[in-house]
Structure 1
Amino acid sequence: MIGDIETLCKLANIKLNLMKTDPKRFFVRAFMAGAYLGLAAILSYTLGALLSDHNVVGKIAVAGSFGIGLVAIVYLGAELFTGNCFVTIMPVLRGDIKLREIIPMWVVCYIGNMIGIALICFLFIKSGAQETIMQPYLKGVMESKLNFDIIDLLIKGILCNFIVCVAAYSGVKIKDETARLIVIMILVMTFVLPGFEHCIANGGIFTMGITQLGSAIDWTMLPLHMLISTLGNIIGGSVLLAVPIYIMFRTPQTKK
């Protein structure tokens, strides 16, 4: 039976080989992952705006619906940067490749995700759908997100991608389709409900805010927010989850 490390390394090598042999196809897969998350952002933030007068119910609706994005990525096949931080670090931990060899793949995946989610979220706002309720809702979200402490934001990023990668890992391990869907949805809800920070999702959310609100918001802290949340996501997937998983399941054959 193939062990967990071998399975994850095999998946990582498929991704790395695709990036090397057909970067255009890899980029499109990354773009579509962002687009799928964009659909989830439209659903969850529209629900949040519609239920903004019901604070608790609104937050639960936002969190409970956002998981559809990761479900689409897992079931339809796409490349999500945050998930790849976990999967593709495994051959690095095993000593098969160097960290520098996966960085170009991460960069292309990150850019593809951002373009995909930004485009979908931009088109949503430009469509004018639910504009009267989205504008005040997004204003509150933007002001809350851009008022942050760096350490708090970093920890929120770490915890977010730890949970996202547990969901991705569950998608690999669980074979029953119904069970896999339920687990992924619940785990995504686990990071959205407390307000943890997912860098790719934030790319779409901030696109909504910039498109809808323009100069009504001070965007000075936006680049720093994206940088810190991205760094936190990398640590959460590549260190906080990947290293313990590697230590738990490595064998004499996988340890180098």
Structure 2
Amino acid sequence: MSYLVPSEFVAKMVDAGESKIFMSTRDTLIRAYMAGAILALAAVFAITVTVQTGVPLLGAVLFPIGFCMLYLLGFDLLTGVFVLTPLALIDKRPGVTVKGVLKNWGLVFLGNFAGALTVAFMMAFVFTYGFSVEPGAVGQKIAGIGESRTLGYAAYGASGWFTIFFRGMLCNWMVSTGVVGAMISTHVSGKVIAMWMPIMLFFFMTFEHSVVNMFLFPSGIIMGGDFSIMDYLIWNEIPTVLGNLVGGLLFTGLTLYSTHLRTGPRRSL
């Protein structure tokens, strides 16, 4: 069958989390770097489509191309390992420790950030012809996104910070559902369809994705956005990362694990 039942794909989730924890540092960084770079390219592609067509929905429909590419190639996003690796710890897999989970998260964060930052610099260079002219419409749009999604939140104080946090939770609920979607089918077409739907939803709703933001905000600063690195960290990246962690693990990882792999006892009639 091309479709796996929930108990089967949840077992695959735990297996995947275990394998990522024991992966070499070299491979973890390479896979995370490429994931960050591809997702950054997908983000600038979707923004370009939105700017040129004036139809945000079209950009959202096309953005999942990057997500599907990176997962079919076996690369890793921070939002994915936030969900998968803790399951191996909860399942008490031999040798899996809290230290191992945290090390994996740290390496994937570094790799994702390096990949996204590389694309941010390259695209800023392209948009400005080597920083010799002002950025065009797409570059200005990215700079504007950076301002509105840092200073715009900061204007509301603690309420703005928690708004980002909740948008991060909602984001990784959908993104991690896309990660799981790649596991429910043995056919490429089935994997792509299952990944496409939740990723399109998160992007159109402008939920906060930590790795996409690793591209958007450094790129926005490079292209003249009127906000600082500290604005980016405090009023976007930090609450987004925390929200991604809580939302993905709570709404996707733990719910699927608890009800499909560690089911409760059957009721007696």
Give the TM-score of the pair, scaled to structure 1. 0.88
How big is the shift at 1:239? 2.1
Aligned-partner Cα distance in 2 for 1:62–1:111: 27
The answer as to whether partners of 1:4 and 1:249 remain within 8 angstroms in 2 is: no
Residue 119 of structure 1 corresponds to 118
How big is the shift at 1:29? 0.9
Aligned-partner Cα distance in 1 for 2:210–2:146: 14
Residue 65 of structure 1 corresponds to 62
Aligned-partner Cα distance in 2 for 1:219–1:16: 31
The answer as to whether partners of 1:93 and 1:246 remain within 8 angstroms in 2 is: no
Deviations 1:101-145 (A, max 9, x none): 200010000110011011012101112269321243223312221
Q: Please tell me whether residue 106 in structure 1 is matched to residue 105 in structure 2.
A: yes
Which residue identity is paired with 1:39? L
Question: Between Structure 1 and Structure 2, how many residues are aligned?
Answer: 243
Residue 36 of structure 2 corresponds to 34
Task: Say which is worse superposed, 129-138 or 107-116, in terms of deviation.
Answer: 129-138
CA pair 183-250 structure 1, distance change in 2 beyond 3 A: closer
Structure 1 segment 149-168 matched on structure 2, within 5 A: 149-168=160-179
Gaps of 5+ in 1: none
Residue 136 of structure 1 corresponds to 140
How big is the shift at 1:222? 1.1
Fraction of identical pairs, as percent: 22
Give the TM-score of the pair, scaled to structure 2. 0.84
Aligned-partner Cα distance in 1 for 2:245–2:230: 23
Measured on the aligned residues, the alpha-carbon RMSD in Å equals: 2.0
Q: Please tell me whether residue 190 in structure 1 is matched to residue 194 in structure 2.
A: no
Gaps of 5+ in 2: 130-134, 154-159, 264-269
1:221 aligned counterpart, secondary structure: helix
Q: 1:231 aligns with which of 217, 228, 242?
A: 242
CA pair 186-3 structure 1, distance change in 2 beyond 3 A: closer
CA pair 219-26 structure 1, distance change in 2 beyond 3 A: closer
CA pair 219-102 structure 1, distance change in 2 beyond 3 A: closer
Q: 1:76 aligns with which of 68, 73, 76?
A: 73
